[in-house]
């Protein structure tokens, strides 16, 4: 006989399993504050100290995210999205073939590379910008420390890095949208709500139909050793 209580319990268990909290509040706030600061810093370059404040905010955000990468929640930690070269190549190949997608709850291997690159370049350019501010306008924490003679070179580097960052951000957005389609997951929504779905319409792992979460993958690799 059908037990409605059992059925509703089962349904709630399934829905609890299918929606997994991945991005904590810090990661989500970090991301969208970063997007606003980056856009402000990129578009407003003739108003000081506004431009500098946008840059300092980026610096502080990235520093916080780096600390969170070591002590933060499970999927936010660097260890959750640091992959071997082999796994990265496998993922890239299956992406190029548009084969069956392996699901990752944290960043996928290509996304992770982009995240590391973005974080490093953002930090670097915020420091270069602060040096430039000191050398050119004799303002900011590095005024009187950075020689004024360096201003032209610093400006070249700062402008070049800003353009490189914009290009990376465009690739990042394209990658997010493309993988959302490929994995049949709305990753942009996940960066707002924090939740990802553990089961997608596509099969995982060479057609076995298994869902590979990062914990299962870690367990699998440990067993193989």
Query: Which residues contact ligand HEM (rule: CB under 6 A)?
Result: 27, 30-31, 34-35, 38, 41-42, 45, 51-52, 55-56, 58, 65, 107, 111, 115, 118-119, 122, 125-126, 129-130, 132-133, 136-137, 140, 155, 158-159, 162, 165, 169, 172-173, 176, 187-188, 190-191
CB of 8 to ligand HEM, least distance (A): 31
Nearest residue (CB) to ligand HEM, 158 versus 204: 158
Least distance in angstroms from the C-beta of 97 to ligand HEM: 20
Cβ neighbours of residue 151 under 8 Å, at least 6 residues apart? Answer: 132, 135, 136
Contacts of 223 (CB under 8 A, 6+ apart): none
Question: Based on CB atoms, which residue is closest to ligand HEM, 92 or 119?
Answer: 119
Name the region of 70 (left: φ>0; alpha: ψ -120 to 50; beta: rest). alpha
How many angstroms separate the Cα of 144 from the Cα of each of 49, 152, 185? 17, 16, 51
CB of 181 to ligand HEM, least distance (A): 13
Nearer to ligand HEM by Cβ, of 117 and 205: the residue is 117
What is the 8-class DSSP label of residue 46? S
Count the Cβ atoms, other than its own, within 10 Å of residue 37. 21
- Residue 66 CB, nearest approach to ligand HEM (Å): 10
Phi then psi for 204, rounded to 5 degrees?
-120, 160
CB of 31 or CB of 100, closer to ligand HEM: 31
> Rounded to whole angstroms, what are the CA distances from 192 to 12, 36, 148, 173?
23, 14, 43, 15
| Least CB distance to ligand HEM at residue 2 (A) | 39
Q: Which is nearer to ligand HEM, 11 or 160 (CB)?
A: 160
């Amino acid at each position: 006989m059908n037990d409605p209580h059992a059925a509703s319990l089962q349904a709630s268990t399934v829905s609890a399993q299918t929606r997994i909290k991945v991005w904590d509040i810090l990661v989500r706030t970090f991301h969208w504050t970063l997007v606003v600061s980056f856009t402000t810093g990129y578009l407003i370059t003739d108003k000081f100290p506004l431009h500098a404040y946008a840059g300092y905010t980026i610096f502080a955000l990235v520093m916080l995210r780096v600390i969170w990468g070591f002590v933060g929640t499970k999927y936010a930690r660097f260890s959750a999205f640091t992959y071997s070269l082999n796994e990265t190549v496998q993922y890239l190949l299956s992406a190029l073939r548009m084969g069956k997608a392996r699901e990752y709850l944290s960043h996928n291997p290509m996304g992770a590379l982009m995240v590391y690159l973005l974080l490093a370049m953002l930090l670097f350019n915020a420091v270069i910008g602060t040096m430039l501010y000191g050398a050119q306008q004799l303002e900011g924490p590095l005024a009187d420390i950075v020689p004024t003679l360096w201003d032209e070179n610093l400006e070249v580097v700062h402008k070049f890095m800003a353009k490189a960052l914009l290009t990376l951000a465009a690739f990042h957005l394209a990658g997010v949208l493309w993988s959302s389609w490929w994995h049949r997951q709305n990753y942009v929504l996940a960066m707002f709500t924090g939740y990802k779905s553990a089961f997608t319409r596509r099969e995982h792992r060479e057609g076995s139909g298994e869902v590979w979460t990062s914990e299962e993958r870690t367990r699998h690799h440990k067993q193989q050793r």
